[in-house]
Structures are given as C-alpha cells and as structure tokens.
A and B are shown apart, each in its own frame.
Chain A
Amino acid sequence: MPGSEWFKNRPRLLEGVYAGSKAALQLSYPLLKRILPAGWRERVFVWSEEVSKGYLFNCQMCGQCILHSTGMTCPMNCPKNLRNGPCGGVRQNGNCEVIPEMPCVWVQAWQRDAQMGRYGGEIQLLQPPVNRALQNSSAWLNMLEGADAQPPSGWSTIELE
C-alpha cells in the first residue's frame, strides 16, 4: 500500500473518492438509520473516519469536514487551526511558521485546489468559524444530518457577493 503522501498529492483522485462516498452515504443513509441505532451509528462512523481519514489526511476529528474546499488537505493540521489560510508567517521554503520542518498545510491546500476539477476554486470561499462542540464527533453523520453546515446565527446575516 502506498504511503499517504502518494494519495495526498493526488487531490483529483481524492475529490472523486469524496464525491463518490458522499453520494453513496446519502443514498444508503435512510437504510443505515433503520438498521443501526444512533449510538452505534456514531461509534461505527467515528471509528471508520478515524481509520480512513486519519490515514489519508491526518484527520483531527473536528466533526465538520471541509476537505473538498481546502484542496483535500486537512486545515486542522495547521497549528493555528486556520480555516481561511495561509497566515503571513509562512517561511520562504514554504514551510510552517510554527513547525519549521513541516510544509505549510495551506500552501499545499492552495496548490492542490488549483489541480482539482470538481471542487477546484472552492478554497476561495469564506469558511465560518469552527463549531468546537462538534470535536470528536462524526463529520459524515453531521453532514448527513446537516449539523456541520450551521454557522453561528449572527454569521450569516451578511450576504456575501
């Protein structure tokens, strides 16, 4: 099995997998809901996300996945937790201000976003603040239930052009 770097540098493949998984989940969710009680559902999903997204993206289980809008690069690996990066501290070699030996998550995110077809360009969207209460919950379930896309109620009062 190739290392996760191999996948990370193929954002087009990953966005395809994402789109496929999303469609499959949305299709099978009504059935899943019937056969798996809520507690088990959460456990199964959290476990499978920890394993799969943990391996592929070093997922931090924020519970509100925006990978497809960030070049299939997990923004929660940014030590400053930016959802709209990169910050102004990026080193001349493209590495992180905080962890000098690590490439800046957001530099990678922007580069990969430029390679993407389906969701390319979404990195330019303004991402709302993180809902910290969703930490360690299943982003997939939150997505299916619509709980991941609810910014603070004051946030959406301004229409962005």
Chain B
Amino acid sequence: MVNTDQTPPAGDSDLHGGESRLQQVLEAGHFAVTAELNAPDSADPKDVYANVAELGDVCDGINATDGSGANCHMSSVACCALMARAGYEPVLQMGCRDRNRIAIQGDLLGAAALGVHNVLCLTGDDVTAGDQPEARRVFDFDALHLLHTARIMRDQGVLLSGRKLTTPPEFFLGAAANPFVPPQDLRHLRLAKKIEAGAQFIQTQYCYDVPVFEAFMRRARDMGLHEKVYLLVGVGPLRSERAAEFMRSRVPGVHIPDAVVDRLAKTPRKGKREEGIRICVEIIEEVKQIEGVHGVHIMAYRQEETVPEIVERAGIMRDATGIGGQDA
C-alpha cells in the first residue's frame, strides 16, 4: 500500500536546514580535503557506497560528478542523496549541458530537500567529449547564471521568475577554476566574476603545473580574492604516462607538463603507481604553502583506494570531522 503519511522515513527529518559541514570546516580555518566519487553505471545504491567507502573517513566533502566527460553515469542528485542518507557530506556537481533553467532550479530544490548543502556550479564538458556525441547540448545557462540563480534562490527565496519559495534552499555555493588553460593571464578575472556571482568556494581543475598555479594565485591575491573565497586545489594521482597522455589529449581542460609525463615514462612499470602517488603528494605539499589555498580536491578516478594514502602521506590528515558514514 502507498504510504501517504507525510512523515519522512527515519533519519531524513534532520536532513533539510542543516548547514554545510564543509563550510564549517573551512570557516574554522582547517585545511579541507574533498574527493571525487566515481559515479557508478548502476542502479544499485550499494555501488555508490562501495565507491565512497574509501573516501568517507579522510574527506570533508565528496563530489558527485554530473555526467563528467559527457558520459552518462548515475545522476549527481541521486548519488548525493544516497551519500547524505548515509551520513556523508556530499558536494553536488551541477553542469549546464543537460538541463535548461527550469530543470536546474527544480533539481536544486530537490537536492536541498534530500539533504545536499554544497553545490559546485559548472558549465560542463561538451557532449562531443563523451560516448554519446550525437546528443543535443543544452547550455541554456552558463556556470555563472547557475551560480547566481542558486544564490538568488537561497538569499532572496525566489525562483528566477520571481515566484516565491515556501522554504528556500540552504547552499554553500562553489564554482570551478581552471588556471592552466588560456587565457592564463586573465583567469583570475573570471574567478573574480564567479565570486561576484556568488561563489563561496572554488575547486580547481587538476594541478600538475605548480608555477602556473602560483602565478594565478599571485594575481588573485593582488585583487584580494583569496580573502573572499575558499580555494581548493584539484589534484590526482596518475597511473602511468599513458594515463597522463590520455587525460591531457582527451579530457577537456587538463594540462599536464611534459616533465610530469616523462617522469612517469622513466619509471619502471612496477613503480609507476607509486610514482604517480608521489607526484600527487609532492604537489599537495607545494600548493599547501601558497597563500590563499584552503584545501585540496582529490580526483582519483577509479583509484579511490589511493586517496587515504595520499592524504596521510601529504600530512593533511586530521581527526575525522565526523563526516564519514553513520558509524565513522
């Protein structure tokens, strides 16, 4: 029989209205760690929990990607809802490629109702990057429209049409930055624009080129941006020079200097995995020293098991913030 009772299932009642724990960690001045969940090609929630298991104890937030690389996986709203239900701290990635403004606002409300408090607003990889390039691209909004709309919903309690919300969503709003692609000398201005539109935290694209990142941060600091936003640097272990070559040629926006690829190529086959982790740890140690860096975002695609090791070796392990699963 259909349950028409309005009481939510046990455990769900506290989900809405809570504040972002990721925001609390950052506001307390801690060096934050977030990681990316590999969204499963599955309809089984167990597959989400299996992928998230390695991440929960060492992360302050877990990003669910939104059809990353324009490949279809379980939706980010669903992944986040499952994570929230299990006591993890999800970060909802939302792109503009697959939905128009009506769907975007509806999904934002739905995600908030399901216990999601962090949203990363993205433009999104184009459909041509994925395995269904014949799909229609939407891009009714761009990332800044999405960001600003989410902010309007939260702060003004209205939809873009001006229609009032009964209960506005509570969001900690994020955006991406890619300091590693042209126009590199102007990328900080786009960051400024995102902050103006409502970004409270930033997760960057993979950083394999620390000097370029440093130059970006210098320009950002000159504008005082480091005091207006929490910036988490994107990092990730490379499995081999082949993986690096694939990423920099096929994944939009990823820049990996030749020196990094060469280093992996020169490493004997058995040591490549270890070398990839070592490079990642070194980069974390370097960017951690840069003023205005508030954390790292670890994207270890299909190598989730390396995340705890990376966190530990980079010396950024903290006592659990209590974001792990229910029994963490």
A-side interface residues toward B, CB under 8 Å? 79-94, 97-98, 104, 107, 110-111, 114, 124, 126-130, 132, 152-155, 157-158, 160-161
Given contacts A92-B182, A107-B182, contact A97 B139 (CB under 8 A): no
Interface size class, chain B: 35 or more
Q: Which of B149, B160, B192 contacts A124 (CB 8 A)?
A: B192
**Cross-interface CB contact of A89 among B125, B142, B190, cutoff 8 Å:** B125
Q: For residue B196, which residues in chain A have a CB less than 8 angstroms away from its CB?
A: 126, 160-161
One digit per residue, 1 when the CB lies within 8 angstroms of any chain A CB and 0 when it does not, for chain B 139-160 equals 1111111001101100110111
Choice from B126, B152, B182, B183 contacting A80 with Cβ under 8 Å: B126
Is the C-beta of B161 less than 8 angstroms from some C-beta in chain A?
A: yes
A88-B205, A92-B255, A155-B152 known; A98 and B128 CB under 8 Å?
A: yes
* Distance (whole angstroms) from the CB of A109 to the closest CB of chain B: 10
- Do B181 and A153 touch across chains, with their CB atoms under 8 A apart? no
Q: Are B193 and A126 in contact, with the CB atoms below 8 A?
A: yes
Q: Which residues of A contact B162 (CB under 8 A)?
A: 152-154, 157
Identity of the chain B residue whose Cβ is nearest the Cβ of A91 in the assembled complex: B181
Report yes or no: B140 in contact with A97, Cβ–Cβ below 8 A.
no
- Rounded to whole angstroms, the CA-CA distance of A128 and B160 in the bound complex is 11
Q: Is the CB of A88 within 8 A of B252?
A: yes
User: From residue B196, how far is it (CB to closest CB) to chain A in Å?
Assistant: 6
Smallest CB-CB separation from B158: which chain A residue?
Answer: A154
**Among all A-B residue pairs, the 7 with the closest Cβ atoms:** A88-B178, A89-B252, A153-B162, A84-B144, A88-B253, A154-B160, A90-B181
Residue in A79, A90, A154 whose beta carbon sits within 8 Å of that of B156 in the complex: A154
Tell whether, in the assembled complex, residue B140 and residue A90 are in contact, meaning their CB atoms are under 8 Å apart.
no
A86 touching B183, Cβ below 8 Å = yes
At the interface, yes or no: B328 with Cβ under 8 Å from chain A?
no
Are B183 and A111 in contact, CB atoms less than 8 angstroms apart? yes
A-B pairs with beta carbons under 8 Å apart, 12 shown: A79-B137, A82-B142, A84-B142, A84-B190, A89-B123, A90-B182, A92-B182, A97-B126, A124-B189, A126-B193, A152-B162, A153-B162
